[in-house]
Chains A and B, each alone.
Chain A
Amino acid sequence: DIQMTQSPSSLSASVGDRVTITCRASQGISNYLAWYQQKPGKVPKLLIYAASTLQSGVPSRFSGSGSGTDFTLTISSLQPEDVATYYCQKYYSAPPTFGQGTKVEIK
């Protein structure tokens, strides 16, 4: 199975900072990658699919990039409401594996 490795596992940044989370696949997955946001005690929410397509209603400060094995989720200007854990998910082939998550906090 293809493994997904996210980094960092956690980060602390100031409001307004640019935040970058990476996800690496153990094999090429084209652009079959999604990003989710899960706020504490809440259900996961899809942010980005096909590596870079923003889900409807998601703020434009979120963006995704990458193809093949290396992917990035960027928050251009961190806001207090962005405190959450972020997960990548590959869906190139079964099983649709999730990364281990990146917890984002405000400094």
Chain B
Amino acid sequence: EVQLVESGGGLVQPGGSLRLSCAASGFTFSTYNMNWVRQAPGKGLEWVAVISGSGDNTNYADSVKGRFTISRDNSKSTLHLQMNSLRAEDTAVYYCASRYYSSGSSLGAFDIWGQGTMVTVSS
């Protein structure tokens, strides 16, 4: 069974750091681009970052560029999001997601999602 399980969320003070993880299982992790998508309470979906299967290429939303770093450990089938200089507006549920089942561009149309992990930035 294809599965993504996030962890690492919690309460952090403004300016603090947090590292999220997403454990993948049931598929050949290293061959798929992986994304982080977030959703602030009561708000819509916001794409955060993507990393290629090899880990060589990354891209970020302008809102997190320079503060967040996406990485992956293919030997452990794990995706990470290092979040630094956190702000109140980073408060959200963070999902890892990818395009696995359907064919086509892997830039979007995410058909596998984790259950999400909540990050709260507050003093």
Q: How large is the interface on A (under 10, 10 to 19, 20 to 34, 35 or more residues)?
A: 20 to 34
Would you call A98 an interface residue if the criterion is a C-beta within 8 Å of the partner chain's C-beta atoms? yes
Contact partners of B113 in chain A: CB under 8 A? 43-45
Q: A16 an interface residue at 8 Å Cβ cutoff?
A: no
Identify the interface centre among B45, B97, B105, B115: most chain A CB within 10 Å of its CB: B45
Residues of B within 8 A of A53 (CB): 102
**A46 with B110: CB separation less than 8 A:** yes
B interface SS class: loop
A91, closest chain B residue (CB): B108
Residue from the list A38, A50, A90, A100 in contact with B104, Cβ < 8 A: A50
* Cα-based distance from A92 to B109 in the complex (angstroms): 11
Residue numbers in A under 8 Å from B97 (CB-CB): 44
- With A and B bound together, what is the CA distance between A25 and B104 in angstroms? 20
B108 touches A50 (CB 8 A): no
Q: Is the pair A101, B108 in contact by a Cβ cutoff of 8 Å?
A: no
Bound CA span A91–B47, Å: 11
Contacts of A34 in B (CB 8 A): 108-110
Q: Does A55 have its Cβ within 8 Å of any Cβ on chain B?
A: yes
